[in-house]
Amino acid sequence: MLANTLTLTINAVAKVLTRVGEQGQSSLYRYKTATEEISLQFRHTTETGGSVPIYRHNAFVEWLIYATPTVAEQYYSYSLTARGSKTSDPETVEDLVLAGNVLLTAQASAFADGEP
């Protein structure tokens, strides 16, 4: 089980999210101040219908920066889905997630700028 608090660091500022909900294979975390709100959800599901069930692992972050008299409201989100069949090795799924994160970190500016 994940900890009751998780830290998300954005632009070198640590934001501590607290678990506010848990149901089955899902957890919801929140961080809220007078100027912003962040939610983080983890959800684990099983896809059936094929010959082998597929385990799906999702992480979804939403960041809302409230409007001020001079700046419009800003909304950002990020999601990650990792999938592996029932017969797959969970450590290999983890390796793929780590490799993907390294690649996206290296290409973050180009990705955020919408480069093809």
Q: How many domains does the chain have?
A: 1
pLDDT (0 to 100) of residue 50: 79
Per-residue pLDDT of the chain (116 residues; tens, 9 = 90+): 789 999 999 999 999 999 999 998 999 999 999 999 999 999 999 988 778 899 999 999 999 999 999 999 999 999 999 999 988 999 999 999 999 999 999 999 999 999 98
Q: Is 103 helix (H, G, I), strand (E, B) or coil?
A: helix
Domain that holds residue 50: 5-110
pLDDT (0 to 100) of residue 1: 77
Half-sphere exposure of 106 (CA within 13 A, CB side): 6
CATH number of the domain encompassing residue 105:
2.40.160.220
Identify whether the C-beta of residue 96 lies closer than 8 Å to the C-beta of residue 82: yes
Position 116 in a domain? no
Position 75 in a domain? yes
Closest to 40 in 3D by CA, of 77, 65, 13: 77
Identify whether the C-beta of residue 11 lies closer than 8 Å to the C-beta of residue 64: no
DSSP labels, 56-68: EEEEEEEEEEPP-
Position 57 in a domain? yes
Q: Global pTM?
A: 0.86
